[in-house]
Structure 1
Amino acid sequence: MSRITRHGSHASLAKKDFVVHLLRIENPLVRGTIAEFFSAFVFIFFVLSTQASTLFSGRRGDMLLNAVNNGIAVSIAMFVSGGVTGAFLNPAVTLAWAVIGKLRWTCCIFYSIAQFVGAFAAAAVIYVLYYDALQSFDGGHRELFGSNGTAGLYGTYPADHQTFLSSIINELVGSGILLIAVLSVSDRRNWRPDNGLFPLVNGLIIVALNLAFYGNGGVAMNPARDLSPRLFSYFSGWGEETFSLWNYQWFWIPFAMPYAGAIIGALMYEVLIEFHWSPELSHGNHNESGPPRPDEGALIQEESVTAIQPIHAFGSPVIIKDQGTQIIKSF
């Protein structure tokens, strides 16, 4: 009997190995793109589902609940794909890493596309999941604002007191501070947390930023979080007003300004902090073992010029020492 059992176990393992071999993707760019899609999907799913839950349970606009959930969503999503790409989740962070030379442009393009698609897929799943609740809430009449307004489930919209200029500044400052915070906690020459704490620290950054900007209606910081769900809401009943607000001057602010703010923030950290580290400065409070080795396809090698390991709710490259050369992987 035991011999039969052992034979069956070996057969099952052989079948599993065959399936794994059959499905395994060897191309690092493809692996990374799939990972970014999946982690972006998980991130946006949690963000939008909480928006729906607070609305349909009578807790619309619960500041603390939404802020904490957004931070947790980022942490979970980073754990999903952190070992593959570092978990960027955010096209603005992805672009900023490419601009400062820590991410290959090919990876930047494919990862960003995957993030937008993952966010759109999450919006579609939330629509199906909460369709009955939505129908009960607004009777099938989709409105942006008012007591029955539900478009905020998907896109971000300005507070009543906000102006065009203040909205631009809001996104620029929010995204810039995000990058400064992320770079500071991921710099090996700074007080970097241990590897396993990266997603949690990154989540706390998001909680803090959500609370800090709540008075201005929040801050997007992530183009995929806003544009993809907004597109879905346009096609699923909310119509043209999702884009025509402020005579078509609003929708591009949470889409374009995070890119500009992220680049400015990344450059500020480099110019004001990173460039001034002594080359001989020993690494500070960090785990010397380093994070999981990233896919080779995104690696950029440098001669010990920098020691940044991005981690972000939306992105996190990895640094590994390899025979005296700093290998920096950005995702």
Structure 2
Amino acid sequence: LGALFGILVAHGVSGAHLNVVWSMSLSILGRHPWRKVPLYALSHLLGAFLGAATVYLQYYGKISTVFSGGQLLVAGPNATAAIFCSYPAEHLSFWGGLVDQVVATALLLICCLAVVDRRQGRLPNGLAPVLVGALILAIGLSMGSNCGFPLNPARDLGPRLFTFIAGWGEEVFTAGGGWWWIPTVAPFVGGLLGTVIYELLIEVHHLTTPHEEQSPGTLYIMD
């Protein structure tokens, strides 16, 4: 639902990318200018940081006093850092986490490219955001137990930077064997993989010519 409403709010202004991996994918396909990607990435990072700050402000009393007894912890039964960003489950190895994020983000990009591919058939107005929201829900339900399915570098790094500043300290970057860089880097790898798979196995094999050109930025993505 968060992704769905985020898309509805922002799509008229920016295409509601909400995830720089999607911006990168569109740029690779020539549907989005590369010069805008850094600005989109910075905007996503700032938005995620401010979103984490908003959550902390709303639940300050619960987080800082009631639940954790005045301590802001990254690990243990009273840890609260995972409210804001992802950490690996105990069973997840370093390589397992890397594979998890590459596979999940590749799937995300494959399905989102299918949603906006007009040669697959035009969707009724307003249905695309619903499908994207349902896709994220499906990925979360089926792949979320390993590390919370970040899928989005800014969605993880922005809140992690906030927790570092707000009092959780440098452990937010050292926990899980330096886990933080996997949800920051692996989604780009998965996004590139998903884009190449869809382009080579689906899009170049369409039998019909689209009646109108692919829109350069009108869909979306998020978390």
Scaled by the length of structure 1, what TM-score is found? Answer: 0.63
The structural deviation recorded for 1:93 is: 1.3
The structural deviation recorded for 1:310 is: 5.6
Alignment counterpart, residue 222 of structure 2, candidates 314, 318, 321: 314
> Paired residue for 1:7?
none
Alignment counterpart, residue 97 of structure 2, candidates 140, 155, 167: 167
Q: Which runs of 5+ in 1 are unaligned?
A: 1-71, 289-303, 316-331
> Paired residue for 2:190?
261
List per-residue Cα deviations over 1:43-76 (Å, max 9, x = no partner).
Answer: xxxxxxxxxxxxxxxxxxxxxxxxxxxxx00000
- The secondary structure found in structure 2 opposite 1:83 is helix
The structural deviation recorded for 1:208 is: 0.4
Matched, 1:138 2:68: yes
- Corresponding residue pairs, total: 222
Call closer, same or farther: CA 1:183–1:235 in 2, change over 3 Å. Answer: same
Amino acid at match of 2:84: Y
2:142 & 2:103 partners in 1: Cα distance? 11
> Paired residue for 1:90?
19
Amino acid at match of 2:60: Y
Amino acid at match of 2:154: A
Pairwise mapping of residues 195-210 of structure 1 onto structure 2 (< 5 A)?
Answer: 195-210=125-140
Amino acid at match of 1:193: L
Contact 1:206 1:313 in 2 (8 A): no
Matched, 1:106 2:35: yes
Amino acid at match of 1:148: N
Matched, 1:124 2:50: no
Contact 1:90 1:115 in 2 (8 A): yes
RMSD: 1.9
Contact 2:97 2:147 in 1 (8 A): no
Amino acid at match of 2:205: H
Amino acid at match of 1:184: A
- The secondary structure found in structure 2 opposite 1:189 is helix
Amino acid at match of 2:27: A
Call closer, same or farther: CA 1:141–1:196 in 2, change over 3 Å. Answer: same
Contact 2:14 2:217 in 1 (8 A): no
Contact 2:52 2:159 in 1 (8 A): yes
CA radius of gyration, larger in: 1
Q: Which runs of 5+ in 2 are unaligned?
A: none
The structural deviation recorded for 1:309 is: 6.9
1:148 & 1:243 partners in 2: Cα distance? 18
Structure of higher RCO (CA pairs closer than 8 Å, 6+ residues apart)? 2
- Misfit runs of 4+, over 6 Å: none
1:274 & 1:155 partners in 2: Cα distance? 34
Alignment counterpart, residue 274 of structure 1, candidates 173, 194, 203: 203
Call closer, same or farther: CA 1:246–1:141 in 2, change over 3 Å. Answer: same
Alignment counterpart, residue 158 of structure 2, candidates 224, 228, 231: 228
The structural deviation recorded for 1:191 is: 3.5
Paired-residue identity, %: 36
- The secondary structure found in structure 2 opposite 1:216 is coil
Higher strand share: 1
